[in-house]
Structure 1
């Protein structure tokens, strides 16, 4: 059996310790990724009731911004009361009452981290994590000697994974 090259040993070493280092964040991304699949349902969400005193006579178009609710749409108006999916707003008194369904705090923080945008400070972590995953993909080919049976079988599994990915992307 041939002795592994220094490149192979370096890749294995970095792969191993980077993997240990990223265990926590990989668990967070895996969990939040699964939770995000169900973001269009009420799965794991809890109801929170809110009552706010706003300015009077806010227009239906500006109500969503005043309540900090994206995509708020006033469904009907009866007198001074605006009805929307989440609750009501009385334009005469400024009283708003509404209910939101939200994930528990820890899951909300995890999904927020998972979806960090470039305008947020955590986006560097997402870039680092993405590059680390890409390194894991590449370095896995240095884990076994190329002439071994395990490596050949690994290439078959790689081909199967690539085909499955292409099918999922294009079908």
Structure 2
């Protein structure tokens, strides 16, 4: 049977090498997580003017989907032209001109990786990464022997972190 000391040393070793192995993906997740916080703004986004011809005579509620614009709200209508934030749509010709704001390619790929769903080809990588983070949580409690002062101080910080997490979950 493995002793507590040997288990602690093994957990430290696994923690260390898994941490080195996942350093790149942790950087991707941290950067994309920060960028996703600002997804409702134009922070870091590149604006381009798009011109697109869609079906004519669409109602104000029907023009958002073919343009790929969420939360489109028509501000005014004038002579068959609908004006909305960042663009317009001519209901007679079907021509729309609007400003589109997108993240640069690398940041877009990072955020798409961060938001992966079960239907995405690499979803198993997200599961592996999530499981690895859970291992980091558990293995961090094996980094120091329970009788040491560092471990006791760590328990205070862990308790404070858990309390903060519970508070944030219910706010």
What is the TM-score normalised by the length of structure 2?
0.87
Contact 2:49–2:98 at 8 Å: present in 1 too?
yes
Indicate whether 1:141 and 2:141 are aligned. yes
Indicate whether 1:153 and 2:153 are aligned. yes
**Structure-2 separation of matches of 1:29 and 1:88:** 36
| Matching residue of 2:7 | 7
| Matching residue of 1:129 | 129
**Structure-2 separation of matches of 1:85 and 1:45:** 16
| Matching residue of 2:112 | 112
**Structure-2 separation of matches of 1:163 and 1:68:** 41
| Matching residue of 2:77 | 77
Which is worse superposed, 45-54 or 16-25? 45-54
**Structure-2 separation of matches of 1:28 and 1:55:** 40
| Matching residue of 1:89 | 89
| Matching residue of 1:46 | 46
| Residue 4 of structure 1, CA deviation | 5.3
Contact 2:28–2:110 at 8 Å: present in 1 too?
yes
**Structure-1 separation of matches of 2:36 and 2:5:** 42
Unaligned runs of 5+ in 1: none
| Residue 79 of structure 1, CA deviation | 2.0
DSSP-derived class of the 2:62 partner? helix
Unaligned runs of 5+ in 2: none
**Structure-1 separation of matches of 2:169 and 2:43:** 26
| Residue 27 of structure 1, CA deviation | 0.5
| Residue 72 of structure 1, CA deviation | 2.2
| Residue 126 of structure 1, CA deviation | 1.8
| Matching residue of 1:34 | 34
Please list the CA deviations of residues 35-88 of structure 1 after superposition, one character each: whole Å capped at 9, or x if unmatched: 222222222222111011223223333211211222223332222212122311
Contact 2:49–2:99 at 8 Å: present in 1 too?
yes
| Matching residue of 2:20 | 20
**Structure-2 separation of matches of 1:66 and 1:158:** 49
What is the TM-score normalised by the length of structure 1?
0.87
Q: Give the CA RMSD over aligned residues.
A: 1.9
